[in-house]
Amino acid sequence: MTTKQTLRAAFPSAAWFAALQQRMNGETERFKRLGFADSRAIFIVKADAEMQRDRSFGVVFDTYECTEVRELSPADAAAFGHDWKLEGPYGAWKEMIENIRAHGAADADHTLGRLSLLKHPFRLYGDDQMRVDLFYRQQSSFQEYIDGAAAVETTFSP
Amino acid sequence: MGITFPTPKENTERLRRLPQVRRWRDGDYTPGAWLTAPSTEQGGAWGSWGNSVTPGRRGITFMDVNKADKSGVPATGPGLTVDRSGGAAPEQPRYQYQMREKYECWSDNLESLLEEALSRQWYASTDIPWDKLEPLPPDQERALCQFVTFLHVVEFNPTDVIPYWMTRIDPAFSEARLFLATQCADESRHMEVFGKRLFANGGGPGVEPFAHAVMHPVPPHLMAVPQETLKLLQGKGPGYEFLQYNYQTQLLGESLVLDFFRFGEFLGRNPCDKEIFRRVLQDEARHVSYGTMHIKYYLEHAPKAERERALELLHYLAAASEAGGAGYDLLLNPNVIEPFVYLAAGSMDNIEQGWQYAREFWVKVVEEYLGRCERAGFPRWDTCLLPREAPF
Amino acid sequence: MTAQEPHKEKPQRVRIMPMKRLTPLPLPPVASIREKMRQHPLAVNLAEHTFHEWFTTPLNGDTWSRWGCAAQMGPDGLTFDRINNVSGAAEPSDRGYARLRHTRYVTLHPGITPELSERIAPKQAPERELDRKYLAWADDAGKLAEEAMARQWRPGLTVRWDEMECLSPQMERAFDQFATYLIQAQQFCSDAMGPFIGRVHYQFMEVKTLMACELFDYNLHCAMLRKRVMSNGGGMGQQVDGFDAGVLEVCNEASQGFEGFQQRDLTGMTLALDVLFNGVVLDFLRLAESAHVSSFDRRFFRQMQQDTARHVAWGCRRVKYHLEHAPDREDVVLRLDCIAEQAEAGQAAGHLLNPQVIEPLAVLLGGAPEKAGEGYAILRRFWPQFAGNYLARLDAAGLPRRGRSLIPEQPPF
């Protein structure tokens, strides 16, 4: 099932991650086939030549849904209680999102696993290796969540 | 067998003389003590009573059930054949399960890992988008199939041995048995899915992955760990304690293979290959998580003398395994690393880039392994024998 | 024994070899280890950045055996059968090869001569114990394995816990006691058959896969039943003793506690456990499904039946294959008959007439403890099916026991 509603949002913004949330929560049956996903994730868009300051977004996955999305200040981020953080420069995020939009899902060079494996351009990390391992344990669900960008008309406003 | 059995007629007569059968034949259907016996808590033979759980968004989980169960998980199993929270009359038999201490099998994240494992089972024949497989350039298909040949050969091994420990675990720790059963199903599916991938895109199985080690064994004078020690470690099978297996396979071996899978996802060139590696790495990450957190539980809950012995054993196993077959040799297997390099490069024109990727991969593998050792409670940052940088 | 006497613990019922502890041998000094690691031939080779045999071997059907052979996916996905058809190894050969942990898909390296191969292979390895086709294989093993995986219960998708219904306290107690027995039965099966998986040679990978599924099924049933029992106002019941009578002894005899190196009797174990024991469990599940339970509980029993029926089918096919292909068929028939007698004698008394199993089932069938008599009436009418189904399965497996079976054809009560 795909959502018929057209979703529009600017990237990076809480609204953009919320659009992915909306799509995920509208497709519970599909996510059920992948299994539970339980993570407190922080997605970080790092400043680069196109963007001046880092932006962080806390996203909570619970069972088959995304239950919370919010932008985090540095103080909020410290208190968020993350399991893992996925961080990449704005340019890499933009390329990934455009790729997902163009192909309907990330192509071979733009999956979260591919982008983060060698710590560049994305980096996956956390304070506790076991909690970082949650990302690997439930990766299909997170990839599906991000692939939701295919259905979001994204404007880029760094 | 030397046993004489009755004839069918004699047997029927024997059965008719059983006390309960005589009672039923007399029309006495009064249920036995099970219907009215008080619970264990009240000194009776019934197990537990009055457990209620309201289903949540994920149904009913083991976390919910255990929260509601007043009896809790005992530190030592009672030796009953009934599942935990069950009861028994005093005259009913007890058994000496070989693993009857909670610390021998438990981990703090066991229930949630079990739930995750149950909810993330998949079916290789139809959950993988085989129809999205695309023809690869011949050398890439060759490299991928060589890598997959190795995985196909090694993946089932845990399913061969885990059931022995499952059988030894006191039923009071049923979650440990159940989780290990999910791992058996996972590993079996991995052998299956890699076997299927070999033939799905025209590549076929590659060179026997350990043939080089047979034909060109490391000469004794260059062996970092003596032959006798390696032989000793190869005896890590089900005849040995579970802790040893947990380090060598669940923490070290599965940890390295998890990274191989992650690299496989990185290298996959189409949605089918990506999905295969994504699915198997999810499974593998659970096994690593259990292995790591079980060792942590063991070290935190075993009696002091046992804890000290375990710690010494773990460091010994780690030193010998890092330098030997399960660690260094595995990471140097040319039938794994070379295909990696080729796939990462994409072609011979770019091959140095492929080697660079493999070196970066090595650093990350060792770092994550060390992170897990630390989490398990036996940090090896300063003592690890695996080089932090790739030797190539 | 009186209630006051301390418990005398017995060895665990399913025999399994004891666990040893490793006695470490001293390691060389760290500096020496590190130096030799630096000189490791594989490290030196890799540092040369040249590719080895896997890259240079011709794709001509020798070492790289099946280049260009691609299986086509069908409506049932990419199944073992579809792969096997192009693998060049559709059927396993009669004897497993010396390299113990390779499936038959991978061509053995021609550079390793048969002599070298024998020299390096452990002579006493678990996989050698069941390396003959007649000892481990079954016709359509691939199809059975696919069915096991395709129909595997996915509780996350199919169990709707919010539809669980409260039962009256007495009916809940009857349900819980019956479920407690089922959990024990499933655990027993898992314990008895699980360690056999590692004894089957990799040549028979479909059988290994099928057995891994079976092991998972048993444990999944335990998991789901435990949740059910521990969440609906009741709880885990009283330990049931004796339901494994006859079968336990056969399984222990078949495995010899997995000690030492010897041929294990997979067929004897499957005859007792899958054909007889699981056949009885299957019939009990059918009865329970038709009892006065909620529709939620009924779906539970139905799902378990599907899985259990597969286990029975595997057992029948295993026995059949063995009987059809064993070189010493007459001896095998004698041995299996003896095993069947032992298992039947124990099961008739300890399982089919076990009051801790039959009583709660009769209450569930009758609808209340005071209506247990109606439940017994149903059990009496049903009884010929216990014997009949079992005998029909043995007929199909080629081990007819009509007129000799120790499972009475009519109810003894």
Chain C environment of A36 (Cβ under 8 Å): 156
Q: How far apart are CA B54 and CA C227, in angstroms?
A: 12
Domains located in chain C, CATH noted = 128-397 (1.10.620.20)
Chain A environment of C157 (Cβ under 8 Å): 32-33
Q: Which residue of A has its CA nearest to B286?
A: A137
Element (H, E) at B143: helix B138-154
pLDDT surpassing 90 at residue A80: yes
B376: closest CA of chain A, how far (Å): 10
Domains located in chain B, CATH noted = 102-376 (1.10.620.20)
Selection from C396, C272, C399 nearest residue C345 by Cα: C272
A116: closest CA of chain B, how far (Å): 9
CA angle, corner A64, sides to A60 and A70, nearest 5? 20
Q: Does A104 touch chain C (CB under 8 A)?
A: no
Q: Does A28 touch chain C (CB under 8 A)?
A: no
CB contact under 8 A, C160 and B198: no
Distances (CA, A) of B361 to A81, B251, B357, C38: 28, 18, 6, 19
Q: Does B311 touch chain C (CB under 8 A)?
A: no
CB contact under 8 A, B279 and A140: yes
Q: List the 371-390 stretch of B: residues with Cβ below 8 A of C.
A: 385, 387
Cis peptide, bond prior to residue B303, ω within 30 of zero: no
The full DSSP string for C43-67 is HHHHHTT---HHHHS-SSSSSS--T
Query: What is the three-class DSSP state of B360?
Result: helix
The tokens 């024109």 sit on which residue?
Answer: B349
Q: How far apart are CA C40 and CA B332, in angstroms?
A: 9
The tokens 């190539």 sit on which residue?
Answer: B392
Nearest Cβ partner of C47 from B80, B124, B392?
B392
Distances (CA, A) of A9 to A15, A19, A151, C86: 6, 7, 11, 50
C344: closest CA of chain B, how far (Å): 10
Chain B environment of A128 (Cβ under 8 Å): 375
B30: closest CA of chain A, how far (Å): 46
Within 10 Å of residue A110's Cβ, how many Cβ atoms? 20
Chain A environment of B263 (Cβ under 8 Å): 117
Cis peptide, bond prior to residue A12, ω within 30 of zero: yes
Contact criterion met (CB below 8 Å) for C196 and B159: no
Chain A environment of B360 (Cβ under 8 Å): 118-119
Listed in sequence order, the residues at least 6 apart from B384 whose beta carbon sits closer than 8 Å to its beta carbon are B318, B322, B366, B369, B370, B373
Is residue A141 domain-resident? yes
Nearest Cβ partner of C222 from B83, B94, B98?
B83
Nearest Cβ partner of A117 from B266, B278, B279?
B266
A118: closest CA of chain B, how far (Å): 6
CB contact under 8 A, A36 and C157: no
Q: Which residue of C has its CA nearest to B317?
A: C24
Q: Which residue of B has its CA nearest to C236?
A: B86
The full DSSP string for C245-311 is TTHHHHHHHHHGGG-SS----HHHHHIIIIIIIHHHHHHHHHHHHTSS--HHHHHHHHHHHHHHHHH
Chain B environment of C34 (Cβ under 8 Å): 224, 385
C214: closest CA of chain B, how far (Å): 9
Chain C environment of B149 (Cβ under 8 Å): 106
Chain C environment of A140 (Cβ under 8 Å): none
pLDDT in tens, chain C (413 residues): 444 455 678 999 999 999 999 888 999 999 999 999 999 999 999 999 999 999 999 998 888 989 999 999 988 899 999 999 999 999 999 988 888 778 999 988 988 888 888 887 776 678 888 999 999 999 999 999 998 988 888 787 788 999 999 999 999 999 999 999 999 999 999 999 999 999 999 999 999 999 999 999 999 999 999 999 999 999 999 999 999 999 999 999 999 999 988 889 999 999 999 999 999 999 999 999 999 999 999 989 998 998 999 999 999 999 999 999 999 999 999 999 999 999 999 999 999 999 999 999 999 999 999 999 999 999 999 999 999 999 999 999 999 999 999 999 999 99
Chain C environment of A33 (Cβ under 8 Å): 157
Nearest Cβ partner of C9 from B79, B219, B342?
B79
Chain C environment of B193 (Cβ under 8 Å): none
Is residue A66 domain-resident? yes
Is residue A1 domain-resident? no
Q: Does C162 touch chain A (CB under 8 A)?
A: no
B202: closest CA of chain A, how far (Å): 20
Q: Does C157 touch chain A (CB under 8 A)?
A: yes
Q: Which residue of B has its CA nearest to A108?
A: B269
Contact criterion met (CB below 8 Å) for C142 and C79: yes
Selection from B167, B174, B328, B314 nearest residue B250 by Cα: B314
CA angle, corner B249, sides to B248 and B253, nearest 5? 90
Q: Where are the alpha helices (DSSP H) in B324-382?
A: 330-331, 334-345, 351-376
CB contact under 8 A, A36 and C156: yes
CB contact under 8 A, B82 and C184: yes
Q: Does C160 touch chain A (CB under 8 A)?
A: no
Number of domains in chain A: 1
Question: Which of A30-44, A88-102, B159-173, B275-289 is least confident?
Answer: A30-44
What pLDDT was estimated at residue B102? Answer: 98
CB contact under 8 A, B116 and A137: yes
Tell me the β-bridge partners of C105: none
What amino acid occupies position C338?
C
Contact criterion met (CB below 8 Å) for B343 and B143: yes
What pLDDT was estimated at residue C4? Answer: 47
Listed in sequence order, the residues at least 6 apart from B151 whose beta carbon sits closer than 8 Å to its beta carbon are B190, B194, B257, B260, B261, B264
CATH for A125:
3.30.1050.10
Phi, psi of B350 (to 5 degrees): -115, 25
CB contact under 8 A, C157 and A35: no
Selection from C315, C250, C248, C232 nearest residue C278 by Cα: C315
Chain B interface disruption, residue of C20, C37, C249, most B CBs within 10 A: C37
What pLDDT was estimated at residue B235? Answer: 60
Q: How far apart are CA C305 and CA C301, in angstroms?
A: 6
Query: What is the three-class DSSP state of A61?
Result: strand
Q: Does B73 touch chain C (CB under 8 A)?
A: no
CA angle, corner C310, sides to C308 and C312, nearest 5? 75
Is residue A157 domain-resident? no
Q: Does A136 touch chain C (CB under 8 A)?
A: no
Nearest Cβ partner of B34 from C37, C101, C356?
C356
Listed in sequence order, the residues at least 6 apart from C148 whose beta carbon sits closer than 8 Å to its beta carbon are C209, C210, C213, C214, C217, C310
Domain containing residue A76: 7-152
A66: closest CA of chain C, how far (Å): 18
Q: At what angle do helices C169-193 and C278-289 cross, to 10 degrees?
A: 160
Instruction: Please state the length of chain B.
Output: 392
- Output helix, strand, coil percentages for chain B, rounded to the nearest 5: 65, 5, 35
Q: Which residue of B has its CA nearest to C7?
A: B94
* pLDDT tens-place string over residues A13-28: 999 999 999 999 999 8
What pLDDT was estimated at residue C8? Answer: 75
pLDDT in tens, chain B (392 residues): 456 889 999 999 999 999 999 999 999 999 999 999 999 999 999 999 999 999 998 899 999 999 999 889 999 999 999 999 999 999 999 999 999 999 999 999 999 999 999 999 999 999 999 999 999 999 999 999 999 999 999 999 999 999 999 999 999 999 999 999 999 999 999 999 999 999 999 999 999 998 888 888 889 899 999 888 888 777 668 999 999 999 999 999 999 999 999 999 999 999 999 999 999 999 999 999 999 999 999 999 999 999 999 999 999 999 999 998 778 888 999 999 999 999 999 999 999 999 999 999 999 999 999 999 999 999 999 999 999 999 99
Q: How far apart are CA C21 and CA B313, in angstroms?
A: 10
Q: List the 109-128 stretch of B: residues with Cβ below 8 A of A.
A: 109, 112, 115-116, 119-121, 127
Give the torsion sign (CA, B315, B316, B319, B321): negative
Q: How far apart are CA B275 and CA B273, in angstroms?
A: 5
Q: Which residue of B has its CA nearest to C121?
A: B214
Tokens coding C108: 């053995």
Query: Could you give the count of Cα atoms lying within 13 Å of C394 in the half-sphere of its Cβ?
Result: 25
Which regions of C101-175 does DSSP assign to beta strands (E)? none
What does R_g of chain C's alpha carbons equal in angstroms?
26
Query: What is the three-class DSSP state of B226?
Result: coil
Q: Does B122 touch chain C (CB under 8 A)?
A: no
C257: closest CA of chain B, how far (Å): 10
Q: How far apart are CA C383 and CA C378, in angstroms?
A: 8
What pLDDT was estimated at residue A158? Answer: 87
Q: Does B242 touch chain A (CB under 8 A)?
A: no
CB contact under 8 A, B372 and A130: yes
What pLDDT was estimated at residue B2? Answer: 57
Query: What is the three-class DSSP state of C399?
Result: coil
What is the pLDDT confidence band of residue A142, given thresholds at 50, 70 and 90? very high
A133: closest CA of chain B, how far (Å): 6
CB contact under 8 A, B224 and C36: yes
Is residue A88 domain-resident? yes
